[in-house]
A = this chain, B = another copy of it.
Amino acid sequence: MAGAPKPAKIKTRDRILQASLALFNSEGEAQVSTVDIAAVLGISPGNLYYHFKGKEAIIESMFDEFETELRQVLSAPIEKPLSLEDNWIFIYIIFEEINDFRFFYEGMSSILERCPSLRPRVARLLALKKATTLAILNSLEKQRLVSFIADEKDRLADRIAAHLTFWLQYRAITEKEQTDRARIHDGVYSTVLQIAPYVVAGRADYLEGAAAYFARQGAGKRR
């Protein structure tokens, strides 16, 4: 009803990005050629090359978008602390972002070899993951919900950053039949459990609460 603008045909450039992402994620970036991408879109390879210099250019353009989104997400809890449950949802969102861009994580070293300009940007993104995790841990610590000694806090933040980065890949190998949804869910639960042993009082309650929360969500149909 509202003055919606005409159907607004999606620009070819964007269709290329969108189709490439889908293909990369399902087939693996290494297994997809520029011809494949053009084929699924029903356009000519020549046309594709009019929009992008090549596969690397496509990847770099995708990364731009991913980086922007993830930076935005990761900055939220640094600005204002979240409640415990909000933290859990927050981890969900991060895993979902990463899952949408999983081809990149799976082929990372080969991609970074071919797109060296991305290397420092990836490194900064990982650093931001750690910083955000640290901010959350600091907030929990200030609320006296958890406590750390020595360099435990810093090390935990590092491990969680790595966990966020690689857990989906780990699970993809160990549980081949899982759906994306199940893998993400499991990843979040697994992150939450990692914090449990540092919970000051009522660690059992925390574990129980988490188990209940994730059983509930697991049955649901988030996304």
The size of the chain A interface, using a CB distance under 8 A, is: 47
CA distance A154 to B109 in the complex (A): 30
Residue of B whose beta carbon sits closest to that of A107: B110
Task: Please provide the chain A residues from 157 to 210 with a CB less than 8 Å away from any CB of chain B in the complex.
Answer: 158-159, 161-163, 165-167, 169-170, 172-174, 176, 190, 193-194, 196-198, 203-204, 207-208
Copies of this chain assembled into the complex: 2
With contacts A163-B159, A170-B165 taken as known, whether A150 is within 8 angstroms of B30 at the C-beta atoms is no
Q: Which residues of A are interface residues toward B (Cβ below 8 A)?
A: 27-31, 106-110, 112-113, 119, 122-123, 126-127, 130, 149-150, 152, 155, 158-159, 161-163, 165-167, 169-170, 172-174, 176, 190, 193-194, 196-198, 203-204, 207-208, 211
